[in-house]
Structure 1
Amino acid sequence: MPAPRWAVCVDIGSTFTKGAVFGFEGGEGRIAARAEAPTTPGDLARGFEAVRRELFARARANEPGFAAEDAIVRFSSSARGGLRIAAIGIVPDLTLAVARLAAASAGGKIVKSFAYTLTADDVAALETLDPDIVLLTGGTDGGDEKHNLANAAALAGARISSTIIYAGNRTARDAVAGILAGKRCIAVDNVMPEVGAVRVEPAREAIRRVFLDTIVEGKGLAALVDSLGVAPKPTPLAVFELVRALSEECPEWRDVCLLDIGGATTDCYSAVEPFRGEPSVVLHGIREPRLTRTVEGDCGLRVSAEALFESGRALIERELGSPPLEILAFAVYIGLVARYPAYLAAEARETRFDAIMARTCAALALRRHAGVLRTVYTAGGKAWVQRGKDLRAVRRVIGTGGYLARIAEEDFLARALAALVPEPEERFLVPEAPVLYADRNHVVPLIGSLAAEYPREAARLLARSLRPVAGDVAQERNRRP
């Protein structure tokens, strides 16, 4: 499909609605205008229209040839913070792991995972959470049915308003649908029809449909969708598709990782072969897809700041040093930004605290997204077991999000990666010597709206908009005590 002459792209976030006009005349994409405005939670269309009007005005001023009637409009939204998804599987390293992959790749946020048969305590936890979606998986096609039927019965009696997506053993599908007849239930193909075969696309599409029903009808976007003739995408899905396009369309970006650091979560995306097949290394669990996403709900700079302080305390205290007063001042700042998420650092010390928080978000998200090698001793001698995905071959890491759009700290990503110090008998499979880039214009989610339709143009536009930053990971790691 040929690229449009102009593309107007808008991303509706929880706090701000951002937009850009991209021009594709001459075959090379460029940023023609940027604008943003506060998100209007009661009616998301009002904030959208405010940004679109400003974009049109700036594009006309910057580009004499710009004409609104020649522009396509695409948009994405994360205004609800992403769909909250509870994943249910049988074996943690198999169907449950695949369920998490499906939910994350669709742009959802995993709020709870359950393995094996749901207990009374599990059901109570689900009722407390009442997630947007319950993703029910389990068993290969023709395999175990009893766990799926038992879990379906437990969900049927649960006091939840969630949409239930069944993506487990095909043999049990009709029985599960019958048990869940009193709930909103969607049945799709199995996420793991055979052992080792990962097939998340049908579940991902079902999650996307639930997103559209939730966002479009519930947040005032229905009229906007009717007038534009196009529906919004979940922002994480738009970014997921952009990382795919970048990896497939630009050979120098084939092995890539992207970190999106926000106020509430940190998302990590990677496109790289997940397992090298080295001698003496055995893969435990599923072989993950080449393209994956994870999201960390305790790694945020504002809304999740208190959770970050708890999860990343060891890394944070190492950065702060030992003075108790400095740690106390940091704790006070954490309380301030968690209470007032729109607060911006007002002095040098607070700027330093923000930088430490952001580096901790990046370090934790990378460590959790990546796999790990652990030493085992067998009759044949020492060997290694790999769990998760090997990111060591990643050559380029991209940092995006509001913080990295304005920060002047050139060695940010190098210091974040260097914080991941290997443990004895264990090795984190994080990128070893990547080239580091920052999305200074914060255009990743905007270009992402174009990636599925115009993958080549979107990928090349992103590659040209990224700025390499200073900082060598190995040197930074060697400087640390």
Structure 2
Amino acid sequence: MECDVLVAEIGSTTTKVNAFSKIDGIWCFLGQGQGTTTVADGDVTVGLKCAADDLCRRLGCNEITGREFLASSSAAGGLRMTVHGLVRDMTVKAAREAALGAGANVSLVTSGKLRKSDIEKVRAISPNIIMIAGGLDYGERETALHNAMMISESGLKAPVVYAGNIENQGEIKSILKDYGGKVYLVDNVYPRVDELNVEPARRVIQKVFEEHIVEAPGMHKVRKLINGRIMPTPGAVMEAAKLLHEYLGDLMVIDVGGATTDVHSVAEGSEEISRILIAPEPLAKRTVEGDLGVYVNRWNLAELIGTDELEREFGEGAGDLVSHLRPIPSDGNELRMAARLADKAVEVSVRRHAGVRRHLYGEAGGRQDVAEGKDLTAVRHIIGTGGALTRLPGGKDILERIQRFGRGGELLPKNECQVHLDIMYIMSSVGVMAGSHREGALELLRWSLGI
């Protein structure tokens, strides 16, 4: 059987294959196969084949191919980046926003001039990409040049993205001319005071990922199978969220996974809050919580809920239930426990993502209202994706509770939101597909979300 678009999603715990075709002018979702990700077995293509075989069983065919075969991946830690800028609250923050929005997991952030001890930390991380930023355009130059020299002499071979002061670009290119990895020059992520410019860097990061994604065991084999786009899975979800924002306005997407929980927001915020923000925020923001996964990090979530509370809800065997939770739960108690952990993951991750409004008091006794962080108060659509929210019971109820989280000055959504579940669990796949079939991707998103 041949379909128009086949998209593989290789996650930390599960691998999916989704099939789509345009039939009589309408884009249709044909089916989804699922298998366990096989990083631990030394080859992710084993799990990919299991997912493809599962899809064939569901469709009643012996084999399935796609005219376009696309993929996303977050296996083996996904896209690991280190970010090195000038001032933590300015260029470093902008560079980090660019990296996270592209779907990277930022493993190390440094501000100021790199030291030998910092380079040792970078070596230990073995990043997929290194980003150097720093300096407003035509402003401070020395820090980025020093950091480029340190990277040049480090013996590292990860691709380097330079996204700092544009006046440095020629010298950066010269310093890194003999560097062991590829070098990419891109527009400054923080060109002027209070101005973020993260989208050019995000696009380059995703391009670099496509060219160099061979980190998980067997990923080089996947790259040979793909005849189109391959993206970090969180970056694909962000692409889908940005596409939906054009149609719906301010929104947020929560993706609870086996290893992490990602929150994406594409929101301009309210005029009231924008007037008192003390630092700029990107339109599209992603935060990743590496301690909030319902399988890999289930004990972290259990501790956040509390032993007494879990035993009150599940009885004295709550601890054993957490211990024996499987990547894909199946029986009643397992499903209930996984859903409870997902509920906590949503609560904690959304609070971490949101900004806060607070009062500053001066020496003369005057009060000033300020806000910092992402303003979610104008969000009108809350979307859930990922296996936990779409496959476990009560996903929509979990998301509904976000509107009741607000306390004090937290910049959280109000009680006027519509909640949508990515029922077919295709958001990341459709985000990859949007690169070549934009209108079709929006059509499929609206259908899966019930919009």
For Structure 1 versus Structure 2, the TM-score category normalised by the shorter chain is 0.7 to 0.9
Correspondence for 2:190: 192
Q: Secondary structure at the match of 2:77?
A: coil
Pairwise mapping of residues 324-473 of structure 1 onto structure 2 (< 5 A)? 334=322, 336=323, 342=327, 344=329, 348=333, 351-377=335-361, 381-409=366-394, 410-418=396-404, 420-423=405-408, 427-433=409-415, 434-466=417-449
- CA RMSD of the aligned region, Å? 3.4
Q: Give the counterpart letter for 1:399 in structure 2.
A: G
Q: 1:201 to 1:221 in 2, by over 3 A?
A: same
Residue of structure 2 aligned with 1:144, choices 130, 140, 145: 140
Q: Give the counterpart letter for 2:361 in structure 1.
A: Y
Residue of structure 1 aligned with 2:289, choices 289, 293, 296: 296
Correspondence for 1:102: 98
Q: Give the counterpart letter for 1:394 in structure 2.
A: V
Q: Give the counterpart letter for 1:187 in structure 2.
A: Y
Matched-pair contact (CA < 8 Å) for 1:303–1:341: no
Residue 230 (structure 2) pairs with residue 232 (structure 1): yes
Q: Give the counterpart letter for 1:247 in structure 2.
A: H
Residues in 1 aligned to 2:102 and 2:273: alpha-carbon distance in whole angstroms:
34
Q: Post-superposition shift, 1:70?
A: 8.0
Pairwise mapping of residues 258-277 of structure 1 onto structure 2 (< 5 A)? 258-274=253-269, 276-277=270-271
Gapped regions of structure 1 (runs ≥ 5): 62-66, 469-481
Matched-pair contact (CA < 8 Å) for 1:260–1:268: yes
Residue 115 (structure 2) pairs with residue 133 (structure 1): no
Give the TM-score of the pair, scaled to structure 1: 0.80
Matched-pair contact (CA < 8 Å) for 2:198–2:282: no
Q: 1:355 to 1:342 in 2, by over 3 A?
A: closer
Q: Post-superposition shift, 1:264?
A: 0.9
Q: Secondary structure at the match of 1:259?
A: strand
Correspondence for 1:471: none
Correspondence for 1:86: 82
Residues in 1 aligned to 2:205 and 2:149: alpha-carbon distance in whole angstroms:
22
Residues in 1 aligned to 2:192 and 2:75: alpha-carbon distance in whole angstroms:
37
Q: Post-superposition shift, 1:129?
A: 2.5
Give the TM-score of the pair, scaled to structure 2: 0.85
Residues in 1 aligned to 2:126 and 2:220: alpha-carbon distance in whole angstroms:
25
Residues in 2 aligned to 1:113 and 1:131: alpha-carbon distance in whole angstroms:
12
Q: Give the counterpart letter for 1:208 in structure 2.
A: Q
Correspondence for 2:205: 207
Q: Post-superposition shift, 1:382?
A: 3.4
Gapped regions of structure 2 (runs ≥ 5): none
Q: 1:145 to 1:183 in 2, by over 3 A?
A: farther
Residues in 1 aligned to 2:338 and 2:56: alpha-carbon distance in whole angstroms:
34
Matched-pair contact (CA < 8 Å) for 1:5–1:25: no
Q: Post-superposition shift, 1:435?
A: 1.6
Matched-pair contact (CA < 8 Å) for 2:255–2:263: yes
Matched-pair contact (CA < 8 Å) for 2:250–2:267: yes
Q: 1:375 to 1:331 in 2, by over 3 A?
A: farther
Q: Secondary structure at the match of 1:278?
A: helix
Matched-pair contact (CA < 8 Å) for 1:363–1:417: no
Matched-pair contact (CA < 8 Å) for 2:44–2:216: no
Residues in 2 aligned to 1:328 and 1:182: alpha-carbon distance in whole angstroms:
58
Q: Post-superposition shift, 1:369?
A: 1.9
Q: Secondary structure at the match of 1:34?
A: strand
Matched-pair contact (CA < 8 Å) for 2:130–2:161: yes
Greater CA drift, 452-461 or 176-185: 176-185
Residue of structure 2 aligned with 1:14, choices 9, 12, 35: 12
Q: Give the counterpart letter for 2:432 in structure 1.
A: S
Matched-pair contact (CA < 8 Å) for 1:242–1:452: no
Q: 1:307 to 1:150 in 2, by over 3 A?
A: farther
Matched-pair contact (CA < 8 Å) for 2:13–2:258: no
Q: 1:182 to 1:443 in 2, by over 3 A?
A: closer
Matched-pair contact (CA < 8 Å) for 1:280–1:384: no
Q: Give the counterpart letter for 1:393 in structure 2.
A: A
Q: Give the counterpart letter for 1:90 in structure 2.
A: L
Correspondence for 1:116: 112
